[in-house]
Amino acid sequence: MTPSRQQRAPDLPPLRSALLAGATGLVGRALAAQWPGPQPLHLLVRREVAAPGPAQRLHVVDFTALPPLPRAEWAFCCLGTTIKVAGSQPAFRAVDFDAVLAFARAAVAAGVTHFAVVSALGADARSSNFYSRTKGEMEAALQGVGFRCLVVARPSLLSGDRASLAQPARAGEVLALALTRPIARFIPKAWRPIDASTLARSLIRGLAQARPGVTVLDSAALQDLGAR
């Protein structure tokens, strides 16, 4: 028998209407898959993809010129790339800073009060590392947008099936996962690889439990919050 909506996700909090940017990526896809409704989840994508679930609405957008977005209470930002995939530091920043901030501002205009973003372990606006500095600057910029609640997730190494998304393999990620998987339980949670589905659950729960202001969740907190 097909379980009812209430039975499918008994461990998730009551959901609100929401926007999701980055729905075709590893974390965004996992989050969309866990969204039971009935409140709508609006998926913002750069290109047409397979039809979403019954409680989901697809919107093909240009993140450099976002149109007015559907009214919503929550928003999830799972946008992100790598310098290698982007091709250059400016191209990387255009996604991980510019597009994130553009989405956040458009979300506020659409009525969003609760916003969750996927950042990275080691994010620091003062870092000498370009990747970490960009992530830190993105976090700082979001604090000035005007959300009632802002949840910043800083996961460690992500694990998941990128091949099914037709994404190119990330050699460093593949090697790191191969080395750490046999000893994962001995690695502190703050550094242990985290599965995309666990991170997605932690984003939903984190936003539901968020208090006014900024909440930063390190990878250990994300592991705990996203546990089944």
Q: Please check the confidence at residue 182 and state whether its pLDDT lies above 90.
A: no
pLDDT digits over 30-54, tens only?
Answer: 999 998 778 999 999 998 887 777 8
Q: Please check the confidence at residue 1 and state whether its pLDDT lies above 50.
A: no
- Top mean pLDDT of 17-21, 81-85, 154-158, 185-189 is at 17-21
pLDDT (0 to 100) of residue 228: 73
List the domains of the chain with CATH numbers: 13-225 (3.40.50.720)
Tell me how far CA of residue 144 lies from CA of 1, 137, 161, 193, in angstroms. 48, 11, 35, 31
Q: Any residues with CB less than 8 A from the CB of 195 and at least 6 apart, and which?
A: 158, 159, 160
- Provide mean pLDDT across the span 105-125: 97
Q: Please check the confidence at residue 192 and state whether its pLDDT lies above 60.
A: yes
CB 79 within 8 A of CB 116: no
The number of C-alpha atoms within 13 Å of 5 and in the hemisphere containing its C-beta is 11
